[in-house]
């Protein structure tokens, strides 16, 4: 990476030289714009991995379209247009694959601590499972669907062929009963 801070005038000069085949100027240009792109992207995404991916996409796009850069115009707006396009493209794919709804626990210790069952609490989980064994089938199913699987009372009512209010009452009573059993 370029150590000293480069200016957009230098970027323009390097881009013009790169169009003429100057590999050194091109290397300087790519090394200068890479951290700039990452810094701009990370401000709007707050995701290090996404910023790295977008930065790589931008560098490849700059390479593909360098012939379309006009030396009479400043380099930065040209770069920004590519950067915004690639960021939007990335986000579109990201949401299409529903990656905003998933996460990895690899090296994501904060998420793991907050959301993944601690194995040392396994005894508690077994106690809950044992307590649930003592419930009737319908009560257990309603409780499991609402409190564990996250269905709404209306969805459960439709599934079970019951009144919504009856489902809510059942879930509430089961919760109280389980709390009593686990005290």
Partner 1 sequence: MTKSNNINDLIGQLSEELEPMKKRCPYRNIAAWIILSLVYIGGVIAYYGPKMDLIESLTTSTFLFEMLLVLGILGFSAMASSFLSFPDERQMGWIRNVAVTLFGVLLLWIFANIVEEGGDFSVFFLGSCYKGVFVEAIPFVALIILTMRGHSTRPYWLMTMNVLAVSALGWIGLRITCAMYESMIYSFLHYLLPFAILGAAFGFFARKIFKW
Please check whether residue 159 is in contact with residue 145, taking contact to mean a CB–CB distance below 8 angstroms.
Answer: yes
Instruction: Determine if 14 is a binding residue for partner 1 (CB under 8 A).
Output: no
In terms of C-beta density within 10 A (0-12 exposed, 13-18 middle, 19 or more buried), how is residue 33 classed? buried
Single residue of 9, 44, 47, 63 touching partner 1 by CB under 8 A = 63
Instruction: Determine if 172 is a binding residue for partner 1 (CB under 8 A).
Output: no
Tell me 122's DSSP state.
H
Single residue of 10, 45, 52, 131 touching partner 1 by CB under 8 A = 52
Query: By CB under 8 A, which span of 80-88, 97-105, 110-118, 151-159 interacts with partner 1?
Result: 80-88
Single residue of 3, 5, 7, 20 touching partner 1 by CB under 8 A = 20
Instruction: Determine if 41 is a binding residue for partner 1 (CB under 8 A).
Output: no
Single residue of 13, 18, 50, 142 touching partner 1 by CB under 8 A = 18
Instruction: Determine if 40 is a binding residue for partner 1 (CB under 8 A).
Output: no
Helices (H), the chain: 8-19, 23-45, 48-65, 75-96, 109-115, 122-133, 137-143, 153-160, 164-182
Instruction: Determine if 19 is a binding residue for partner 1 (CB under 8 A).
Output: yes
Q: Which is nearer to partner 1, 82 or 145 (CB)?
A: 82
Rg (CA), the chain: 28
Cα 173 to Cα 95, 134, 136, distances in angstroms: 39, 14, 12
Instruction: Determine if 8 is a binding residue for partner 1 (CB under 8 A).
Output: no
How many other C-beta atoms are found inside a 10 Å radius of the C-beta of residue 161? 6
Instruction: Determine if 91 is a binding residue for partner 1 (CB under 8 A).
Output: no
Cα 91 to Cα 41, 79, 104, distances in angstroms: 11, 18, 18
Binding positions for partner 1, rule: CB under 8 A:
1, 18-24, 26-27, 30-31, 34, 52, 55-56, 59-61, 63-71, 73, 77-78, 80-82, 84-85
């Amino acid at each position: 990476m370029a150590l000293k801070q480069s200016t957009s005038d230098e970027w323009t000069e390097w881009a013009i030289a790169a169009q003429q085949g100057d590999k050194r100027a091109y290397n300087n240009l790519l090394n200068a714009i890479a951290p700039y792109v990452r810094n701009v992207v990370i401000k709007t995404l707050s995701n290090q991995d996404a910023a790295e991916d977008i930065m790589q996409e931008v560098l490849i796009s700059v390479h593909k379209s360098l012939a379309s850069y006009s030396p009479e115009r400043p380099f930065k707006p040209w770069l920004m247009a590519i950067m915004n396009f690639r960021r939007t493209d990335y986000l579109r794919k990201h949401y299409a694959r529903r990656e905003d709804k998933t996460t990895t626990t690899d090296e994501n210790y904060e998420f793991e601590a907050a959301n993944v069952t601690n194995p040392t609490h396994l005894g508690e989980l077994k106690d809950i499972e044992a307590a649930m064994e003592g419930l009737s089938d319908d009560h257990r199913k309603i409780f499991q669907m609402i409190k564990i699987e996250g269905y709404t009372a209306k969805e459960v009512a439709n599934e079970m062929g019951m009144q919504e209010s009856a489902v809510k009452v059942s879930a509430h009573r089961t919760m109280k009963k389980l709390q009593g059993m686990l005290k």
